[in-house]
Amino acid sequence: MPPIGTDAGPPRMTKRSSGSPPSHAPCRAGLTFALCSRPPETPMRHALALALVLTAGLTGTAHAGEVVGLGGKCLDVKGKKSDDGTATQLWQCNGGPNQKWQMTRAGELKGFADKCLDVEGGKTDEGTPVILYTCNGGANQKWRFEKGALVGIGGNCLDVKGNKSKDGQPLVLYRCTGGANQKWKLRG
């Protein structure tokens, strides 16, 4: 699946001459959605709602907002510091600039001070800290939403260390398990 923000164009609705319900063409990417087509038995209003959500995620500009995870808390840059190497953590969502993220067309999650979510040292070891760092296009700064998880380098996931939802809990790279501590959504 291409990175979030890839412009595949909005789903196209077409009306059939037979008078049967409209259908629409599939699209390639979207926030946490990858499916644009609706099964025939799905009510049309649900298909239209899904098309609207997907269209919002497929515009030429990248989607920005809070990245919300375990316990409804946000991906946060610790101490609102913009230095390279600053730790990321789970923290109560407060709308601060250190909790705003934008998925770029290149697959980077760009945040505070226009820096990127980065796996420290480009490592793929479980438990490697996820930090803020100057964007450089490296593989350790590429992310994609897949089945509600943020998947990064080596196919590993952004993980709330220890599966604890307390404020200040560190964020690390870890083998994807499908656990609640690896589920994220972009809310904007």
82-111: pLDDT as tens digits:
999 999 999 999 999 999 999 999 999 999
| β pairing state of 86-91 and 128-133 | antiparallel
- pLDDT at residue 118, as a whole number: 99
Q: What is the sign of the dihedral through the CA atoms of 154, 9, 54 and 57?
A: positive
Euclidean distance between CA atoms 75 and 36, whole angstroms:
28
Residue 112 clears pLDDT 60, i.e. is over it: yes
For the chain, give the mean pLDDT.
78
Question: What average pLDDT score do residues 156-178 get?
Answer: 98
Place of tokens 């098309």: 51
DSSP of 87-125 = EEEEE-----GGG-EEE-TTSBEE-GGG-EEEEGGG--S
Question: Please, where in the chain does CATH 2.80.10.50 lie?
Answer: 64-187
Q: Which of 169, 13, 187, 17 is nearest to 103 (CA)?
A: 187
- pLDDT per position as a tens digit, 37-47: 334 444 433 33
Q: Which pLDDT score is estimated for 19?
A: 52
Question: Is domain 64-187 in CATH 2.80.10.50, yes or no?
Answer: yes
**Whether 145 contacts 186, CB under 8 Å:** yes
Per-residue pLDDT reduced to its tens digit, 1-38: 444 444 444 444 444 445 544 444 343 344 433 333 33
At 188, is the pLDDT very low, low, confident or very high (cuts 50, 70, 90)?
confident
